[in-house]
């Protein structure tokens, strides 16, 4: 099975399918990474705030040491947390991630959210734990990320949860343009406008929560929310193609030119999701799934915007 790759504006290529590790518990995530590497995955999506990078690092190291995979075949992404946006906090945060992952460099380092917390705050809950949007300006954070590329610590840098307008603001002052924007993307939130706007700006999109994150914390759940895996159209397309709903969602994402990072800690589902690289959906199936868009988010970001904070959900996605 040949993995599809997408070209980035840096000249690098990113594997179309990666393993997501958000919500993968310590004690489970290492086994999942090892299983994924054995199944053929070469792209692992991580973040400091997932609080499991040390175990991911052990699994990568074990696979490399056992000769199962070479570091230069791997694509490892991580993300800068909201409490480290000030320029002098970026390098220590990256160094911690590199130490945890047992790596000399990342393939991709993303600004996780365009929202800044005070240094040392893991999760801001009250207004006084935030820094306002211009303190520091995200252009300052971006310059510090550019310096990590200069230092050879990151091959590519990018954004996550950035609207088209916020991508534009970064691009306007960037010396190195963002290579990737990683956002929630599944058929119920197809992000077509953002996909087009980012394509016009030379920015590749990675789709997170491609299966609708049914294992997300209760605090992120509301009745009637999108459930792409349970959608009857997705299920019918799956049946027609002799595939599972998850495979259809993954294949759909890749056929739209986005890389995609389904999370699983279950060996059978990890392998099943990888097999989606074999599936080719026809134009009618793509159109049927394309008609499901309700522009509805699962990760709305209200947990980053408590009342009195300098942020609002409207500001976030504007």
User: Is 5 part of the annotated catalytic residue set?
Assistant: no
Which listed residue (30, 177, 178, 212) binds ligand A2P by CB under 6 A? 212
Per-position x/- string for 265-284, each x denoting binding to ligand A2P as judged by CB under 6 A, each - no binding: xx--x--xx-----------
**Burial class (CB within 10 angstroms; exposed 0-12, middle 13-18, buried 19+) of 274:** buried
Q: Which is nearer to ligand A2P, 164 or 249 (CB)?
A: 249
The least CB distance from residue 28 to ligand A2P, in Å, is 8
Nearest alpha-carbon partner for 186 in 211, 205, 220: 211
Give the per-residue SS3 of 165-207: HHHHHHHHHCCCCCCEEEEECECCECCHHHHHHHHHCCCEEEE
- Which helix (H) or strand (E) segment is 221 a member of? none
The answer to the question of residue 20 lying near ligand A2P (CB under 6 A) is yes
**Between 176 and 248, whose beta carbon lies closer to ligand A2P?**
248
Binders in 172-211 for ligand A2P, by CB under 6 A: 209-211
Contact 311, 302 (CB under 8 A): no
Q: 20 or 177: whose CB is closer to ligand A2P?
A: 20
Among 215, 239, 280, 296, binds ligand A2P (CB under 6 A): 215
Cβ atoms of 184 and 209 closer than 8 Å:
yes
Q: Which of 5, 6, 41, 50 is catalytic?
A: 50
Contacts of residue 42, Cβ cutoff 8 Å, sequence gap at least 6: 3, 15, 69, 73, 74, 75
Judged by CB under 6 A, the number of residues near ligand A2P is 19
Judged by the rule CB under 6 A, the positions of this chain that interact with ligand A2P are 20, 209-215, 229, 244, 246, 262-266, 269, 272-273
């Amino acid at each position: 099975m040949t993995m599809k790759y997408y070209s980035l504006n840096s000249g690098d290529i990113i594997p179309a399918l990666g393993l997501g590790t958000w919500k993968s518990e310590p004690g489970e995530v290492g086994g999942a990474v090892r299983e994924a590497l054995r199944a053929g995955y070469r792209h692992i999506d991580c973040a400091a705030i997932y609080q499991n990078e040390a175990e991911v690092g052990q699994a990568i190291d074990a696979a490399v040491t056992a000769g199962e995979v070479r570091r230069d075949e791997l694509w490892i992404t991580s993300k800068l947390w909201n409490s480290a946006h000030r320029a002098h906090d970026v390098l220590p945060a990256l160094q911690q991630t590199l130490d945890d992952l047992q790596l000399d460099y990342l393939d991709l380092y993303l600004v996780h959210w365009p929202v800044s917390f005070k240094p040392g705050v893991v999760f801001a809950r009250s207004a006084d734990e935030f820094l306002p949007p211009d303190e520091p300006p995200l252009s300052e954070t971006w310059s510090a990320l550019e310096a990590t590329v200069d230092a050879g610590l990151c091959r590519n840098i990018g954004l996550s949860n950035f609207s088209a307008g916020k991508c534009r603001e970064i691009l306007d002052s960037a010396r190195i343009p963002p290579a990737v924007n990683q956002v929630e993307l599944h058929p119920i939130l197809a992000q077509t406008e953002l996909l087009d706007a980012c394509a016009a700006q030379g920015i590749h999109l990675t789709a997170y929560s491609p299966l609708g994150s049914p294992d997300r914390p209760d605090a992120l759940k509301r009745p009637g929310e999108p459930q792409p895996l349970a959608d009857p159209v997705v299920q019918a397309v799956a049946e027609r193609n002799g595939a599972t709903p998850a495979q259809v969602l993954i294949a759909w994402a890749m056929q739209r030119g986005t890389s995609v990072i389904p999370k699983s800690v279950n060996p059978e589902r990890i392998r099943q999701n990888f097999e989606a690289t074999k599936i080719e959906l026809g134009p009618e199936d793509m159109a049927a799934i394309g008609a499901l868009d309700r522009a509805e988010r699962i990760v709305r970001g209200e947990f980053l915007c408590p009342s009195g904070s300098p942020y609002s959900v409207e500001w976030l996605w504007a």
